[in-house]
Amino acid sequence: MSIEIARAHLRGLGMEDRIRELEQSSATVELAAAAIGCEPGMIAKTLAFQQKDGPVLVLAAGDVRVDNKKYKAVFQEKAKMIPWDDVEEQIGHAPGGVCPFGVKPEVRVFLDESLKKYNVVYPAAGTDHSMAEMNLEELERCSGSLGWVLISK
């Protein structure tokens, strides 16, 4: 189960206690924000892109959209989302629970600057009924981020 992969990853970093399992769905930004009672921007949505050299995840504030020109400027190719049916195979987590914790080794992770307006954010934790609570330093460390990018509008 995907949450167990995320849990094992976070356990190895001493952060397993950050996972929250919810009764309500957290599969979308709106559902996740309602489930924990925060503003949508605090949900660190995980965007999965297919690039020529493999999959890329970008965690961004839940209330922003991707700016295609900025994406191309950062990654030197057009933004192409991984098809829904291929996400779990390429990333290691199914849609609704995609997170940067315990992903396949070839997946590169980045954090969007839009997250920096929050002290605490809530990325998914492997299922559509789970999330983790982290400050930005913890998210940076636990996600294995390769750095901060600006691809949001």
Q: Total domain count for the chain?
A: 1
User: What pTM value is reported for the model?
Assistant: 0.95
pLDDT bracket for residue 136 (50, 70, 90)? very high
User: What residue numbers bound the domain in which 73 lies?
Assistant: 2-149
- Check which CATH number belongs to the domain holding 98 and give it: 3.90.960.10
Q: Which pLDDT tens digit goes with each residue over 80-115?
A: 999 999 999 999 999 999 999 999 999 999 999 999
Beta bridge partners of 51: 54
Q: Kindly give the pairing relationship between strand 120-123 and strand 148-149.
A: unpaired
